[in-house]
Chains A and B, each alone.
Chain A
Amino acid sequence: MKLGVGDLSAVHELSITQGILDIVLAAAIREGGGRVTAIDLVIGELASIVDDSVQFYWDIIAEGTPAAGAKLRFRRVPLRFECLGCQATFEPADGTFACPHCASVSVRVNAGDDLRIDGFDLEPEPEDAPPDDKPDDKECQP
């Protein structure tokens, strides 16, 4: 039994970018509509996402949507560990995850898993200008 995957939406950063677009457009509708002008993204080191690739796909798939042209603001969160021996937190040195203070290898991840949207800027659509002339009372008369 063989299944083919018809579209390429599972290409790595493309599917991530599509996720961002879908979430933001749905939220913008819930907020009453408007143009999305900027999006705040928090990307941890463990997420293995390349900002430039996301920007590349964004420029293509957001075109023609209320988020077209939105600025993507990336906040990177580095990988940090907490030492279970001495409770120090640290960013790992090259080539090892061991604690630089006490050399323990008993550590756990403290930060760097993030892959989320942290908010966006919404510019409401301008309201329709009121009509120049008000309805004539005469029109309402039977």
Chain B
Amino acid sequence: MTRRVAVVENITKANDRLAAVNRNLLAAHRLPSFNLLSSPGAGKTSLVERTVTELAGRCCIGVIEGDMTGSLDAERAEAVGARAVQINTGGACHLDAGMVTDALDQLPLGELDLVIVENVGNLICPASFDLGTTRRVVIASVPEGDDKPLKYPTMYRGVDLLVLNKIDLLPYVRFDVDRFVNAVAALNENLTVMRMSCTTGEGFGAWLDWVAALVAAHREPR
């Protein structure tokens, strides 16, 4: 006789367990971290490069780069002084917590002040997978258009900080900043928004302040 089994489980349970392992490992080293997400070409690697460069001497940064293939991004991060691990996902469209566990194993966590995970460029898949980082940062860029949060709400949900990049292009493309920011704010309580250009440096100071504050907060003894 068929009977009903009332088990209620989140489908991402296995990933969530590994995310908790990562979270605990990073906490044990007092390491802040953030998961950096965006569509391809929004400026994740440029943000990482410029952050590592500007904080050189003050902050030792470990970077985990996720791409389908190649090691271009890890090379860029290493070239400016980061300790980098490249994950090649092959056909996979996102990083999951298990991949990050393996990558953390390759980083000298005891020597670092911050870990940045640059996710695979993708506006849909990475959002479903908690990696165990302290914060989640989404970069959107002006040329992508202001309707993306309405079309891809998954990606813009659970965001701690929204970076609107390439603001130097605002005079040249149609982009309603208020429409965009309001839509992301609707999907997130306690959202921080920053506008910048990684190319010109406009607005980058506020971003560095945010990173420095995150690092300082983790350094303080409990």
Contact = CB atoms under 8 A, between A and B. Distances in A.
A and B associate in one complex: yes
Interface of A: 1-5, 8-12, 15-16, 19-20, 22-24, 27-28, 31, 37, 41, 45-48, 79, 81, 92, 94-98, 105-109, 113, 115-124
Given A1-B106, A2-B71, A10 B89 contact: yes
Contacts of A45: 153
Interface in B114-139: 124-125, 127-128
Contacts of A4: 88, 90
Interface residues of B, number: 51
Contacts of A116: 8-11
Contact of A3 (B88, B92, B150): B88
B150 A95 contact: yes
Contacts of B154: 46-48
Ranked 10 nearest A-B pairs via Cβ: A10-B92, A97-B186, A48-B154, A105-B182, A27-B7, A119-B6, A19-B11, A123-B2, A12-B125, A2-B86
Contacts of B93: 10-12
Nearest to B91: A8
A117 B1 contact: no
A134 B217 CA distance: 75
Contacts of B9: 23, 27, 116-117
Contact of B153 (A22, A24, A46, A122): A46
A53 B186 CA distance: 29
A90 B110 CA distance: 48
Q: Chain A contact residues: over half helix, strand or loop, or mixed?
A: mixed
10 contacts: A1-B85, A20-B11, A46-B154, A92-B150, A97-B182, A105-B185, A115-B12, A117-B9, A122-B2, A122-B4
A121 B152 CA distance: 34
Interface of B: 1-15, 71, 74, 84-96, 99, 102-103, 106, 124-125, 127-128, 147, 149-150, 152-154, 157, 182-183, 185-187, 189
A3 B151 CA distance: 33
Given A92-B150, A98-B182, A115-B128, 7 more contacts: A12-B93, A12-B124, A95-B150, A108-B186, A118-B8, A119-B6, A120-B4
Contact of B7 (A8, A22, A95, A119): A119
Contacts of B102: 3
A122 B182 CA distance: 46
Nearest to A122: B5
A3 B94 contact: no
Contacts of B8: 116-119
B21 to A, nearest CB: 17
A5 B182 contact: no
Nearest to B185: A105
Which of A2, A10, A105 has the largest count of B CB atoms less than 10 A from its CB? A10
Given A48-B154, A122-B3, A23 B147 contact: no
Nearest to A109: B187
Contacts of B187: 97, 109
A45 B160 CA distance: 21
B91 A2 contact: no
B101 to A, nearest CB: 11
